Chain A
Amino acid sequence: MKFEYQRPATLEAALKFLAAAGGDCAPLAGGTDLLVMIQEGLVGPRTVLDISRLEELKNIREEDGRIEIGALVSHGRAAAAKLLREKAALLVESCLQIGSPQIRASGTIGGNLVMASPSGDTIPALYALGAGVVLKSVTGTRTVAIEDFFTGVKKSVRRPDELLTAIVFPAPEPSARGFYNKLGQRKALAIAKVSVAALVTRKGEKVEKVRIALGAVAPTVIRAPRTEEYLAGRKLDPETIAAARSLCAGESRAITDLRSTAGYRDRMAGLLLARGLEDLL
């Protein structure tokens, strides 16, 4: 590991440094992925820009019906935050599925998105919540819908001069219920073979709105639009759930790799959805 190390004191200084570095600079948030990638020679930045101490990116707040999570909030802190436990339990569940307590103490919400892995645990939950990603540079701020943020495996629209500074999403209606279900080799420190998140809003007995996201079954996390459309307006009962299960398996576009096989992943995508929906009955 050979690199220069910079630790700017403010976000403004960090953005200026990034703008001047011209791309050969890796922002370090929690370091739980970046330092592994550097050690394994997958990336070799000239400079590591340590943003891990920027307190201004560590807030969790709700304002005018919008919840904002600073990019440097650790998964452990997010999982313990009262606001998120009450209003975004599926995001809390996804944070608790990451790595181990040690990884969750260091790894950050923003880092999980910037690494842009299709199996990143928080990503399906944030799709289901309809989140936006805030990107800042010296030239300005833009908010990108999370579904437009990822462009492929480990690829996103973040420019080298930009920092992901926050995640925002509308506070779910009080009646909304969600879940994040993950299948991994074991309970801790396992990358998802497949994962499913959903947020369901019901009116009376019927599903009014549902957003479903599938992880690790395509180059990016994907929605399951046909399953969503089928569920809208229906009452959640065992028959409806069984139909949604097979539709969802059909929308999964998994591949076979060292973690699992395509057919198994597709079927498990359906099963993980069905289990989550059953828990809402």
Chain B
Amino acid sequence: MKKIKLDITVNGVKHSLKVDPNLRLLDLLREELDLTGTKEGCGIGECGACTVILDGKAVNSCLILAGQCAGREIVTIEGLSDGEKLHPLQQAFLDHGAVQCGFCTPGMILSAAALLHANPAPTEDEIRVAISGNLCRCTGYTQIVEAVQAAAGKDKGDWWLQI
């Protein structure tokens, strides 16, 4: 298999890489760039644990080839906080007890971040639709929805535009 050349931006950092043609975006993030905050759950687009933001939209990184991301911008969970200072969504998840085992949390937060990026003041229904592709098997969704509502209401500034 001939390697392919790839220039991508991840969390604001530009990378020039040579990768295998069959590499998924998920593998690129975890194995090549050591960004292991992105999780692999089902590997077939049904659980949302691998959700990242690609050019402003939440996508399943298990269903995208690295090659498809050439020239594009990706945000992972590692790209949300400002050093030790948590992103308001991350803080809201902690404040509302929206995390138990944590495996779904990065994907859940990125789906919520993509929503707030497009719609800074979503209704509860819009929040539930936005996270409908992310399965949580221990916390349940009530606290998660409350956390997203709190984050959306907390800051009328443009922090979500910086994702």
Contact = CB atoms under 8 A, between A and B. Distances in A.
A binds B: yes
A31 to B, nearest CB: 5
A88 B68 CA distance: 30
Contact of A36 (B45, B67, B68, B114): B45
A40 B43 CA distance: 10
A210 B162 CA distance: 48
Contacts of A100: 45, 48, 132-134
A35 B67 contact: no
B22 interface: yes
Contacts of A103: 45, 60, 63, 133
B133 A102 contact: yes
B133 A189 contact: yes
Contacts of A1: 22
Interface residues of A, number: 28
B68 A102 contact: no
B58 interface: yes
Nearest to A36: B44
A187 B132 contact: yes
Interface string A17-50: 0000000000010011001100110000000101
A53 B2 contact: no
A10 to B, nearest CB: 16
A99 B133 CA distance: 7
A101 B111 contact: yes
Contacts, number: 86
Contacts of B149: none
Given A3-B21, A76-B57, A187-B132, A102 B70 contact: no
Among B44, B58, B60, find the residue whose CB has the most chain A CB atoms closer than 10 A.
Answer: B60
B130 A101 contact: yes
Contacts of A52: 68
Contact of A189 (B46, B51, B114, B129): B46
B109 to A, nearest CB: 14
Contacts of A36: 44-45, 63
B145 interface: no
A148 interface: no
Interface in B43-95: 43-46, 48, 51, 54, 57-60, 62-65, 67-68, 70
Nearest to A189: B46
B65 A102 contact: no
B101 interface: no
B57 to A, nearest CB: 4
A16 B116 CA distance: 42
A52 B59 CA distance: 14
A50 B65 contact: yes
Given A99-B45, A102-B60, A5 B65 contact: yes
Contacts of B70: 7
Interface string A91-118: 0000000011111011000000000000
B24 A105 contact: no
Given A101-B111, A188-B132, A189-B133, A32 B45 contact: yes
Among A7, A40, A76, find the residue whose CB has the most chain B CB atoms closer than 10 A.
Answer: A7
Nearest to B66: A5
Nearest to A52: B68
30 contacts: A2-B1, A3-B1, A4-B1, A4-B2, A7-B68, A28-B68, A31-B64, A32-B45, A35-B63, A36-B63, A39-B43, A39-B44, A40-B44, A50-B65, A52-B68, A53-B68, A100-B45, A100-B48, A100-B134, A101-B114, A101-B132, A101-B133, A102-B58, A102-B59, A102-B60, A102-B111, A103-B45, A105-B54, A189-B46, A189-B132
Interface of B: 1-2, 4, 21-22, 24, 43-46, 48, 51, 54, 57-60, 62-65, 67-68, 70, 111, 114, 129-130, 132-134
Interface of A: 1-5, 7, 28, 31-32, 35-36, 39-40, 48, 50, 52-53, 76, 99-103, 105-106, 187-189
Given A4-B2, A50-B68, A101-B114, 5 more contacts: A31-B64, A32-B60, A35-B24, A105-B57, A106-B63
